[in-house]
Amino acid sequence: MSRGTSWRLALRLARRDALRNRGRSILVLVMIALPVLAVTAADVVIQTQDVTGVESLDRRLGSADALVTVEAQGSPVVQFFDPYDGSGTVGDQGTGRPPTAEQVSAALGGARLVETHLGAVNVRTDDGVAIVDGTEVDLRDPLSRGLFDLTAGRWPTGPGEVVVNQALLDQGYARGDVLGLTDDGAPAPTIVGVAESAESRTYPVVAGPIGSLGIADREGDAGQPSWLAGGGPVSWDQVRTANALGATVLSRAVVTDPPPTSELPDEMQGWGGSSDDQMVAVIVLVVVMALLEVVLLAGPAFAVTARRQSRTLALMAATGGTPAQSRRVVIGGGMVLGTVAALAGVVLGIGAARLLLPVLQHWSNTWFGPFDVPWLHLLGIALFGLLSAVLAAVVPAWIASRQDVVAVLAGRRADKRPSLRSPILGVVLLGIGIAGSAYGATSSSSGEFAIAGSAVVAVIGMIFLVPIVVVGVARLAGRLPLSPRYAARDAARHRTRTVPAVAAVAATVAGVVALGIAVTSDEAQNRETYRAELPDGMGSVSAYADEAPVDWTQLRAAVAGKLPDAQLTPVRGIIESSTPDGPSYWLDIKAAGVEEPDRLLDSYGSSWGASTLVGESAMTNLPIDVPEGVRQEALRMLQSGGVVAFTDQGVQADELRLELHRWEADSEDESVERLSVPALMVPVALGNAGPQAILSTQAAKRLGAPVGVSGLLVSGPITRAQESAVSEALTATDTSSSFYVERGYQADNETVIIQLVLAALGGVLMLGGTLTATFLALSDARPDLATLAAVGASPRRRRWVAASYALVIGFVGAVLGAAVGFIPGIAVTYPLTNGYSEATAGHYLDVPWLMILGLVVALPLLTALIVGLTARSRLPLVSRLD
């Protein structure tokens, strides 16, 4: 038989077998088509919503051939083909002036230019002030066509008119209203139309002619014009000419058809690509794990197929077939089912994406691109499906080709004894996995990759150990009641079917346990290293001099308006910067009389309004948490003109040296005022987030430090609704102000979601693996169940046997997986929780025992329950006797 005919025979047998055993074929199809479907749908959605360079050009350029932006100092620039990917100034200061429109036009070969200004504008809304994307351009010029899509009203005709998008209307405007721009000197244009931006869907947007929003009048870079250029394609050489003038050019022609990368300026050559290796490593790991999981899930079905075919294969062997031909028959099944599953998965995946897109668009902030089917990716995904089916058939094929022909024809049907080779290989691989994890845990950089890689090795090693574990469990099952004893023994007899199912569950649990330990430990570190900035429940208002000195009376009134019952306590401290044009200050406190003094604090914060508080009132009015004795002592120290300083370094000192650094605005020069004063050291916990010291009024005066109200403490309790109301009221009063409420450590929502997703994923995969193996085992066990019926098993017995099967597979898999998952899980906590600062240093390990207990005990029991309830209770009564 030639190679070709032998494959043809194998594929024909496989196709017939697949059609005859519909249930099993559908099972394999689902196992392989589902991941293919999911990945296909995800890929199509990502490709569609991802607006790549060429697709995005219309959105960014409208109908123009190029968009030119200039740098205020006129320094030469370098850029990628698409300046969004990278650009920057090079060389000296340049001409000191930006290039003019004429210069730019000349550089671009005499292109027609339409001036445009882009910038954020503050707009008054129902709730306060919103930051809105503003565009100033002649919207009626053909070059700007496509940037906005007019949906109602008309385009502006003069600088007193603008169009806005629906998102801005939703914040409290209607067509015909005057837009409330809050920036100083901004005009008050009328809304004459509704136009959607080509890019942003939910973010508020406003557009109007030059001068309508006041962006063009701003100083510095903000006021520099950009130009839409028209009149023909802009070449890369023209872009480089414009670059030399200090203009960055987004050219349609260059992005659509980029020149070779060797054309890029030298400064741009080395950019990007640095993280590519890590990215590839991550993708390879993910693909390997996914492939492993799919292969393991589909494996049992092929194992059963191969065993069902064993008689055919034995007859083939008896009539002179070679082992290779036997193998081909089983692998042929993988090829036939893999091909069908891959094609079905891709087609259904594209359909699913098509249906999903409108739903996703509804939740997205930006407009999706045209429906985009990345055929090359999909080919890869389909090949992945085919490969996983063929791989799933390989081991059963190998075993089938080496079966004992005489035993099969005589009707004996047990698997061979487990060989010793595979457990030894398993132990070796597991050892490599542990060593790799240990290396990753101790190595200084990219330890996570070593750990992830060794986790895959450890899981593969574990798979080799599954057979002897299953056999061991069967040995121990002698004392168990009938159903579990039967299930455990039968599982061990049919290892080709049981092992992949157990391994699939184990691999899933190992992954979930490892990630669970990592996430929980990370969370533990965050919780342990959290330091409250204020007493629990209390709020604080801070503000800095942005354009004018802070008006605390107004801020206080804003808070009192929203929280009439709260007690408001002004905080006095050193004002580090009182006006935008005035000097700024910084106070450094050191132990006096020491050559190289220790730091007093590892960290301090300014949540109280200032990092240095001033005056006795701080000690009497503010909730500084010290024992009463220390408070009295501190008061005496402040009365006598000294300083109360906090230390988390255990520094002992009776006298401290204060150094007040002072900078004038627009100047690099620094002057320092020094003063030594008596001091009281108050120890605080490491990781302090409060102020660094309380200065006596006298000492502040002698230093010449500017003292004033620097913050406002608000007594609690403050609800979240009140917090957001106060924040809005404050922003409306002074945009530099902010409101912080201490609520203690708050678990990140993401962490909770990740844990839920992990648990759900683990549950689904465990259910999938267990269900497949159980129902295959039940169909395989038909003769045994008929015998059970004949000797008097009640109909319910089948349910018990089914549930026991599920329990054996789920429980053995979960225990093995949890044990293996601990290796990378614990290892990865070392690089993960290795803090940088002294306060966060150390190693945090928190094992999510509840989740692991759920995976190892509750989930197998739940799966068994589901299997028990869904299994048909009718025993195949007469099949044996027919």
Partner 1 sequence: MNAPTSAVLRMDAVTRVHGEGATEVHALRSVSFGVHPGELVAVMGPSGSGKSTLLTLAGGLDSPTSGTVSVEGTDLEGLGAAGRARMRRTSIGYVFQDFNLIPALNAIENVALPLELDGVRTRTARAAARAALDEVGIGDLATRFPDHMSGGQQQRVAIARAVVGDRRLILADEPTGALDSDTGESILRLLRARCDAGAAGVLVTHEARHAAWADRVVFLRDGVVVDETGADSAEVLIDSGTPR
User: 170-178 long-range CB contacts below 8 Å, 24 or more apart?
Assistant: 171/123, 171/125, 171/126, 171/127, 171/130, 171/204, 172/125, 172/126, 172/127, 173/125
Q: Is 880 in the site for partner 1 (CB under 8 A)?
A: yes
Residue 518 vs 801, nearer CB to partner 1: 801
Cβ-proximal residues to 589 (8 Å cutoff; 6+ apart), any chain: 600, 643, 645, 656, 657, 658, 659, 692, 693
In this structure, what token pair is assigned to residue 305?
A: 């197929």
Q: Output the smallest distance, CB 423 to partner 1, in A.
A: 22
Q: Is 787 in the site for partner 1 (CB under 8 A)?
A: yes
| Residue 692 structure tokens | 């660094």
Encoded tokens for 73: 């100092």
Rounded to a whole number of angstroms, the minimum distance from the CB of residue 773 to partner 1 is 15
- With H, G, I as helix, E, B as strand and everything else as coil, classify residue 739: strand
Q: Taking CB under 8 A as the rule, does residue 485 contact partner 1?
A: yes
Instruction: Please state whether 120 falls in left (phi above 0), alpha (psi between -120 and 50) or beta.
Output: beta
Smallest gap from residue 823 Cβ to partner 1 (A): 33
What is the CB-side half-sphere exposure of residue 521 using CA atoms within 13 A?
Answer: 25
State which residue, 58 or 784, has the beta carbon closest to partner 1.
784
Contact between 501 and partner 1 per CB under 8 A = no
175 vs 485, beta carbon nearer partner 1: 485
Q: Select the residue interacting with partner 1 from 725, 730, 789, 851 (CB under 8 A).
A: 789
- DSSP structure class, residue 366: B
Window contacting partner 1 (CB under 8 A); options: 137-145, 247-255, 444-452, 794-802 = 794-802
H, E, C per residue of 58-104: HHHHCCCCEEEEECCCCCCEEECCCHHHCEEECCCCCCCCCCCHHHH
The answer to the question of residue 493 lying near partner 1 (CB under 8 A) is yes
- Binding of partner 1 at residue 623 (CB under 8 A)? no
CA distance 65 to 16: 60
Selected from 331, 793, 852, 856, the binder of partner 1 by CB under 8 A is 793
Q: Does 355 bind partner 1 (CB under 8 A)?
A: no
- Least distance in Å: CB of 411 to partner 1? 8
**Residues 16, 312 contacting (CB under 8 angstroms):** no
Nearer to partner 1, 493 or 531 (CB): 493
Structure token digits, residue 850:
């509840």
Query: From the CB of 798, what's the least distance to partner 1, in Å?
Result: 11
Q: Which residues contact 76 (CB under 8 A, 6 or more apart)?
A: 89, 90, 91, 94, 243, 244, 245, 246
Note whether 881 binds partner 1 by CB under 8 A. Answer: yes
Residue from 489, 497, 562, 590 in contact with partner 1 (CB under 8 A):
489
Helix locations, 246-322, DSSP H = 252-256, 266-269, 276-308, 310-318
| Shortest Å, Cβ 475 to partner 1 | 12
Q: Write out the DSSP string of 678-695.
A: EEEEEE--TT--S-SEEE
Q: Measured from the CB of residue 781, what is the shortest distance to partner 1 in angstroms? A: 9
CB 86 within 8 A of CB 80: yes
| Least Å from the CB of residue 808 to partner 1 | 12
Site string for partner 1, 380-419 (x = CB under 8 A): -------------------------------xxxx-----
Is 877 near partner 1 (CB under 8 A)? yes
The verdict on 475 binding partner 1 (CB under 8 A) reads no
- Report how many residues bind partner 1 under the rule CB under 8 A: 29
Q: How far is CA 826 from CA 754, 783, 815, 821, in A?
A: 18, 46, 17, 8
Tell me how many degrees the CA angle 681-683-688 measures, rounded to the nearest 5: 120
Q: Is 797 in the site for partner 1 (CB under 8 A)?
A: yes
Closest to partner 1 by CB, 414 or 764: 414
* Nearest approach, Cβ of residue 492 and partner 1 (Å): 8
Query: Measured from the CB of residue 780, what is the shortest distance to partner 1 in angstroms?
Result: 11
| 308 interacts with partner 1 by CB under 8 A | no
Beta bridge partners of 590: 657
In angstroms, the CA 770 to CA 776 distance is 10
Residue 795 found at the interface with partner 1 (CB under 8 A): yes
Token code pair at residue 17: 């077998």
**Does position 809 bind partner 1 by CB under 8 A?**
no
Minimum separation from the CB atom of position 418 to partner 1 (A): 15
Q: Contacting partner 1 (CB under 8 A), which of 482, 594, 685, 747?
A: 482
Give the binding site for partner 1 (CB under 8 A). 411-414, 481-482, 485-486, 489-490, 493, 783-784, 786-795, 797, 877-878, 880-882
